[in-house]
Amino acid sequence: MPDSVNVFEESRQASRRLLGQTIVKAMSAKGFIAEYVDTKEQAMDAVLRIIPEGASVGIPGSVTIREIGAFEKLRERGCAIFHHWDPSFTPEQRKQAWKDEASSDYFLTSSNGVTHDGMLVNIDGNGNRVGAMAWADNPIIYVVGVNKASRDIQSALDRIRDHATPPNALRLHVDTPCSKVGHCVDCDASTRVCRAVLILERPTMGRKTHVIIVGEDLGY
């Protein structure tokens, strides 16, 4: 009799692969340069195939990019990394870091959500990340775990607000209502981090837009 735990895990992984491949097919048809990989290690390898040695890389706030070990691997190959997640930064230094991220040779990020039919959905508080996603003249690379897949745009927005924002607010010690109850209450708080929504139906005109869908849980 097969080991039931292995059977459960194998079927779960097979289902994730199917979903990831379905999304990649839809994204490719929309003009994204999309690929599917099973693991975060393979995702990092895919990133390193795109970013050449010595290139500068802008990395906005992203748990996923840190989880795949991008900082360590990119530094090993001599890449300069610009990012604003340095607690010692003054507000002015943080604003400069946002600009440096957007003007790097490559912009490496995740997406808050991806729909089954291949659209990227993001919500921002400051707008620096969605601004750079919407326009910059550098190639952009998204690394997205299948845990962020949703049926359509509305369910992607709901997932982001109900399941991604509360743990993110807790991680960043931002005093939002969702961080008290564990789900979105569509608040009107001054601390509200849901302020700017970007839906990428296609890559923006002329911009190389890579998407690596990963068959693992990454980020929130």
Our finding on whether 187 is near ligand SF4 (CB under 6 A) is yes
Our finding on whether 197 is near ligand SF4 (CB under 6 A) is no
Applying CB under 6 A, which of residues 70, 184, 212, 218 lies at the interface with ligand SF4?
A: 184
The strand pairing partners of 44, in sequence order, are none
Of 18 and 189, nearer to ligand SF4 (C-beta) is 189
Our finding on whether 196 is near ligand SF4 (CB under 6 A) is no
Q: Select the span of 23-31, 44-52, 93-101, 185-193 touching ligand SF4 (CB under 6 A).
A: 185-193
Q: How many residues does the chain have?
A: 220
Applying CB under 6 A, which of residues 192, 196, 199, 217 lies at the interface with ligand SF4?
A: 192
Which residues 162-181 are close enough to bind ligand SF4 by CB under 6 A? 165, 176-178
Applying CB under 6 A, which of residues 148, 159, 161, 163 lies at the interface with ligand SF4?
A: 161
Closest CA to 115 of 182, 48, 26: 26
Tell me how far, at minimum, the Cβ of 199 lies from ligand SF4, in Å. Answer: 17
Residue 13 near residue 38 (C-beta atoms within 8 A): yes
Q: Over the Cα atoms of the chain, what is R_g?
A: 17
Tell me how far, at minimum, the Cβ of 130 lies from ligand SF4, in Å. Answer: 14
Distance in Å from the first CA to the final CA of the chain: 36
Our finding on whether 92 is near ligand SF4 (CB under 6 A) is no
Lookup result for tokens 């390193």: 48
Of 95 and 192, nearer to ligand SF4 (C-beta) is 192
C-alpha pair distances (Å), 83 with each of 58, 116, 139, 176? 6, 30, 17, 24
Closest CA to 55 of 136, 111, 138: 138
Report CA 33 to chain centroid distance, whole Å: 15
Query: What are the structure tokens assigned to 173, written together?
Result: 């010690």
Separation CA 147–CA 220 (nearest Å): 8
Our finding on whether 194 is near ligand SF4 (CB under 6 A) is yes
Which residues 106-125 are close enough to bind ligand SF4 by CB under 6 A? none
The binding site for ligand SF4 (CB under 6 A) comprises 161, 165, 176-178, 184-187, 192-194
